[in-house]
Structure 1
Amino acid sequence: MGLISTSYALLLAISFVALVDAGCHYQFPAFPPPDYAEPCPELLEAFNRIETTVSALVADPSFNTSSYSIEVTYAKSTLWTSFHTAVDKDPARPGAEEIDGRSAYRIASITKTFTVLGILKQHAAGNLSLDDSVDKYIPQLAGHQNGTIPWKDITLRSLASQLSGLPRDWAQGDLATELSDPSALGLPPASLSGLPQCDSFGEYRPCTEQELLQSIQSKPPLFAPNQKSTYSNIAFELLGLVLANVTLMDYEDYIQSAILDPLEMTGSSFSKPSDSIAVLPKNISWYWDVDEGIQNPTGGLYASSADMSKFLRYVLSHYNGITPALNWLQPASFTAGLNSFYGTPWEMFRSNKILNDPDRLVTFATKGGGLPGYSTIIVLVPEFELGITILTAGNETLLNHLLEATTVPLIQAADMVTQRHVQNAYTGTFEASVINSSIALSYTRKNGLGITDWISNGTDMMTAIPRYFKFDSGKSHVQLMTTLLFRDQDNLAGECWRMLVLPNQSPPDKAKVWDDFCVSDVDTMMYDGLPWNELVFWDKDPNGRFHTVELTAFRVSMSRANTKEVISEKLLMQDL
């Protein structure tokens, strides 16, 4: 028994020391998202800054033929919009007279998110499984083929998360249709033998299901399934066929009835909207009329920015509740970049440059799209419960300028709103004087919400913890991390948090390679069967301020200290 006790104490000590010695910071999610329904002067100031920046940007003559729509929303409603109408439009076909939230764009590959949502809904309904192979739902892929793609090993999940190993395109992207003189690139004359006779090959017409299947059944894979991520439009065209076969509906009709109609996205469709609401870029408006046919699931949707805000609000409210098969905003595979990942089908990015602190990361789930004349993106920031839509028509370089000009001030402002919310809701001193217990919570921009003083049954815990677990208290702090769960989940009461002992700063210059290696270990230990490091906040008043903190394993609830509470406790002590 003595050996077991000693070993267990050593294990606990190692777990604490490992956290303190590592250069790891738990910043996601840092706090529950703030309630943006309350007045937020920080956001108003940020929106003014963004408007000034983008107004100056589009004053550049190179953007005279460009229009844009920008919307910022949170889970409940739109927070801000900005629109710009091109000053130079085609007089023969100008499109919408003035751009607003109802103006329609071709949103291109953002359509993929609707295709994947349809697959997730069908998985949740039990009509298909993400982990079934694609040939179960497209029988033609199970038969004889001239190519070498291993369809039986490609699942719906790998198709949706860019891990199928399939080529990018089959009816687009061939230089034979783009180059007037192939020899200028050292290429021999093109024969065009065996190529599909649709889309960009010959006189335009939309491709058919038969042409898609015939083409891909003769191709080799780019990678083995699930070996390496690479962008594939073919993958989503196949997912569209899966939806059609499972639902016995046309893909377009299913998306309309299952997603667009329930979300009241009345300005979105696969049918070409009227020119009266169309955003038509000068000299490139021809693509507005293109029917993408069997390629609709990868990029055929028309939509307005107001409709995309509705869609983003749905995602922000449901991303972890659509199906238990996955959290929709978690990464699924690596990309070539150090801080970039693929989701299903998101393009995800993590940056420590926005909040001016190398240890503060912000995670973005994005989906971009591009078609002739149109560059678009949607951005989800779940940590701050924000969604951003940027739709542009005209100069394709405009999108990246708008993305930088919008997201950086917005996230910095949202972080300030969060700081104010945290200081109001959680900081202060909580006491249970009868048993000589108290805890002081404070907020710093560097470390977030943490414990600065803690007395439990007369014991100074800020001294006892490092002494017992044998580490230098001067090198660490106790940070609180929300779990986004509630003790009373039905009534959303009793916010559950965890205490973590973390380093005060990263290792100097992170000089060693493995200083950047971090793992998550939030549930560090128990006491008497209860989580040792759990805190629960109770008694939230109308101003969002909590008045009780429960320390689960210590079996104590402490009340926020104020004059009335102190007087009451003194009277109680006199009675005792």
Structure 2
Amino acid sequence: MAPLSRLGVILLFLSSLIAIINGSCSFETPFFPPPTYTRQSSEVWEAFSQIEASLSRLMSNSTDPGMNKSSYSIEVTSSKSTLWSTFHTAKDKNLTRPGAEKVNETSRYRIASITKVFTVLGILQQHAAGNLSLDHTIDRYLPDLNSSHTPDSILWHDITLRSLASQLSGIPRDWAQGDLILDLEDPTAVGLPPVSRDDPEFADLPRCDSYNDFKPCTAQDLFRDLEGRPPVFEPNQKGKYSNIAFELLGLALANVTGQAYEVYVGSSILQALGMAQTSFSKPDDSVAVLPKDIAWYWDVDEGVQNPTGGLYCSSSDMSMFLRYVLKDYKNIVDAKLNWLPLPSTIGVGSYYGMPWETLRTDKILDGGRTVTFFTKGGGLPGYSTMILVVPQYDLGITIFAAGDTDLLSDLLKMVVERVIEAADKLAGRQVDERYAGTYTADPNKLNSSVTLSYSSTHGLEITNWISNSTDMLKVISQGSQLPPTQKFHAQLISTGLHRHEKTKKGELWRLVVSLEEPAAPSVWDDLCTGDVDTAIYAGKPLNELAFWDKDEKSGRFYQLELTAFRVNLTLTDGGGGLRIGHLLGQQL
């Protein structure tokens, strides 16, 4: 075989070295590790102060009667501790049943569908214990579901526990509430035919919950209603929200544990985590956040619907739970179960998880960078709730609201985006202080150096790279076969791994080339792939870098290894307090 020309060598090297990412493709992995929150994290403390002032203006200047009847509890936590909390007590409360005198971190709310997170956690625990499988069908654990023989009934033998937990079952949303026949005095006013409750058709409707003064529904009520109920979609073909799915998961959990669902979750999750302010039983009014005119719903027993929305909880307890999730979400019950999996696509959108509702957005950060939120919201009469887990910033956010139904939306807009912007600025500053600078080989042995710079749009990137007297950025530019005006960035992406995982030494990153937006973008520019594992050289990844010699107090790294190039470079110019004399074994 004839030897490659110099240009051929450059092209081969380029194609092997780096994954090229279109400008319109936001990369799946964060540009940098999560920030560390300390007393010096001025960006976030200033943001919290500004948010507090904005919230105060919102509630004090409102002329909306609904706002005057509203209360809220908001907390932001890292995986280590609560960073900030704020509370508001409604001005206009029930005279005969006011509830908690002053809302604080111990005040309880009905958290509605956030309960689903605890139901799925119970299922994951039993899956890890080998007592059930996410990939078994639900009728294996609830054989009563097969009592129906109607041709168009739900095919339970095609619906797995994973399908139910992931909102992919295709089954109806609700069954014991939400029927307009209970609310419309005159159905004909909205074009519906009149139906008498004495009609035989009405006799088939449930006799519990909203159909019977909120009498608790039972498992038999649920099974009876599901007989002959048709599905909405084919199983596993389309995401569709279903409360019934989680009621079935709760019943399956009870069957395999031999305990009532509420008893199992109470002992295996709530007590195990120390969540003493969370329960399925109704707390005393002295700690209850009771919205005016809707306080009666505090007393409603959800019965068989508890797994989908029955918990009462305080904001401090929820922060405790979010810390538990943040600390170990990749291995929360089993190393094979990542509870917060990223969507398989790299673009922007929202997705169902188990049971997290995942949002990936590029509308907060500079440069089209994305933020991924794992959320769970809930709503019951008088209550609107939301929790958000943001692993890339090591943040968990709790927002509980009671009263005005629009308040939660206002609070989300005022709190979450500002917190993320501040956390991103903090993370960027820490990256700049800990990684940026020029790393150089011993000049007596090798002409090799790398300069790393940080920007808010491109994160940590290589802005100068000499390897054995070769300008590597020029090699990339010449060998890319891109238009001469096409700009690119040699970005570094944290992998979250270490060369030595046990000691957490040798922090591993990967290099990708990110192209700026094409001059004439097309729809296909949004077709993104996430392959950053390129070719190897003599058994080593060509685009892998490792940071070594970390100062534990400042977090500053002083050594950079280019894995495939078999070279270690020393920081010779950069912030964070250089220790050149120490690193070179010289006296300053």
Matches within 5 A, 1:313-324: 313-322=323-332, 323-324=334-335
Is 1:103 equivalent to 2:113 in the alignment? no
Task: In structure 1, list runs of 5 or more residues that go unmatched.
Answer: none
Query: C-alpha distance in 2, partners of 1:214/1:230?
Result: 22
Give 3-state SS (helix, strand or coil) of 1:262's partner.
helix
Is 1:257 equivalent to 2:262 in the alignment? no
Aligned residue number for residue 473 of structure 2: 462
**CA separation of 1:4/1:217 partners in 2, compared to 1, >3 Å: closer, same or farther?**
farther
Give 3-state SS (helix, strand or coil) of 2:203's partner.
coil
Query: How many angstroms does 1:202 deviate by?
Result: 2.5
Aligned residue number for residue 117 of structure 2: 113
Residues 509-554 of structure 1 show CA distances to partners (whole Å, capped at 9, x for unaligned) of: x641112221111112111111000001111102100011111111
2:148·2:228 contact (CA, 8 Å) conserved in 1? no
Is 1:370 equivalent to 2:379 in the alignment? yes
Residue range with higher mean Cα deviation, 51-60 or 144-153 = 144-153
Aligned residue number for residue 491 of structure 1: 503
2:531 maps to a residue whose letter is D
Residue range with higher mean Cα deviation, 234-243 or 341-350 = 341-350
Aligned residue number for residue 223 of structure 1: 233
Give 3-state SS (helix, strand or coil) of 2:408's partner.
helix
Query: C-alpha distance in 1, partners of 2:94/2:72?
Result: 16
Matches within 5 A, 1:415-494: 415-433=424-442, 434-471=445-482, 475-494=487-506
Query: C-alpha distance in 1, partners of 2:533/2:559?
Result: 22
Is 1:565 equivalent to 2:580 in the alignment? yes
Query: How many angstroms does 1:193 deviate by?
Result: 2.0
Find 1:388's aligned residue among 381, 384, 397. Answer: 397
Query: C-alpha distance in 2, partners of 1:520/1:343?
Result: 20
Query: C-alpha distance in 2, partners of 1:229/1:333?
Result: 15
Find 1:269's aligned residue among 268, 275, 279. Answer: 279
Query: C-alpha distance in 1, partners of 2:494/2:176?
Result: 48
**CA separation of 1:366/1:2 partners in 2, compared to 1, >3 Å: closer, same or farther?**
farther
Query: How many angstroms does 1:345 deviate by?
Result: 1.0
Query: How many angstroms does 1:247 deviate by?
Result: 0.9
Residues 536-575 of structure 1 show CA distances to partners (whole Å, capped at 9, x for unaligned) of: 1111102100011111111111111168637986989xxx
Give 3-state SS (helix, strand or coil) of 1:79's partner.
strand
Query: How many angstroms does 1:9 deviate by?
Result: 8.4
TM-score by length of 1: 0.93
Find 1:187's aligned residue among 185, 192, 195. Answer: 192
1:367·1:379 contact (CA, 8 Å) conserved in 2? yes
Query: C-alpha distance in 2, partners of 1:74/1:296?
Result: 29
1:428 maps to a residue whose letter is G
2:10·2:475 contact (CA, 8 Å) conserved in 1? no
Aligned residue number for residue 523 of structure 1: 533
Query: C-alpha distance in 2, partners of 1:527/1:279?
Result: 63
Give 3-state SS (helix, strand or coil) of 1:450's partner.
strand
Aligned residue number for residue 418 of structure 2: 409
Matches within 5 A, 1:261-300: 261-300=271-310
Query: C-alpha distance in 2, partners of 1:455/1:139?
Result: 68
1:373 maps to a residue whose letter is G
Residues 27-64 of structure 1 show CA distances to partners (whole Å, capped at 9, x for unaligned) of: 63221101113421111110111111111111213211
Aligned residue number for residue 160 of structure 2: 155
1:331·1:342 contact (CA, 8 Å) conserved in 2? no
**CA separation of 1:113/1:332 partners in 2, compared to 1, >3 Å: closer, same or farther?**
farther
Aligned residue number for residue 361 of structure 1: 370
Residue range with higher mean Cα deviation, 145-154 or 158-167 = 145-154
Is 1:197 equivalent to 2:234 in the alignment? no
Query: How many angstroms does 1:417 deviate by?
Result: 0.3
**CA separation of 1:447/1:338 partners in 2, compared to 1, >3 Å: closer, same or farther?**
closer
1:26·1:481 contact (CA, 8 Å) conserved in 2? no
**CA separation of 1:347/1:21 partners in 2, compared to 1, >3 Å: closer, same or farther?**
closer
Give 3-state SS (helix, strand or coil) of 2:330's partner.
coil
Residue range with higher mean Cα deviation, 188-197 or 283-292 = 188-197
Task: In structure 2, list runs of 5 or more residues that go unmatched.
Answer: none
Residues 307-343 of structure 1 show CA distances to partners (whole Å, capped at 9, x for unaligned) of: 0101111111121112344422225699xx9722111
Residue range with higher mean Cα deviation, 221-230 or 557-566 = 557-566
**CA separation of 1:3/1:326 partners in 2, compared to 1, >3 Å: closer, same or farther?**
farther
Query: How many angstroms does 1:469 deviate by?
Result: 5.0
2:18·2:543 contact (CA, 8 Å) conserved in 1? no
Give 3-state SS (helix, strand or coil) of 1:435's partner.
coil
CA RMSD of aligned residues (A): 2.5
Aligned residue number for residue 126 of structure 1: 130
Query: C-alpha distance in 2, partners of 1:195/1:362?
Result: 44
Is 1:48 equivalent to 2:49 in the alignment? yes
1:404 maps to a residue whose letter is K
Is 1:344 equivalent to 2:354 in the alignment? yes
**CA separation of 1:332/1:428 partners in 2, compared to 1, >3 Å: closer, same or farther?**
closer
Aligned residue number for residue 94 of structure 1: 98
Aligned residue number for residue 176 of structure 2: 171
Find 2:72's aligned residue among 68, 75, 98. Answer: 68
1:106·1:288 contact (CA, 8 Å) conserved in 2? yes
Query: C-alpha distance in 1, partners of 2:545/2:19?
Result: 22
2:447 maps to a residue whose letter is N
Query: C-alpha distance in 1, partners of 2:306/2:186?
Result: 31
Give 3-state SS (helix, strand or coil) of 1:157's partner.
helix
Query: C-alpha distance in 2, partners of 1:537/1:486?
Result: 9
**CA separation of 1:305/1:568 partners in 2, compared to 1, >3 Å: closer, same or farther?**
closer
Residue range with higher mean Cα deviation, 252-261 or 319-328 = 319-328
Query: C-alpha distance in 1, partners of 2:49/2:428?
Result: 21
Query: C-alpha distance in 2, partners of 1:250/1:469?
Result: 63
Residue range with higher mean Cα deviation, 247-256 or 146-155 = 146-155
Query: C-alpha distance in 2, partners of 1:524/1:511?
Result: 26
Aligned length: 567
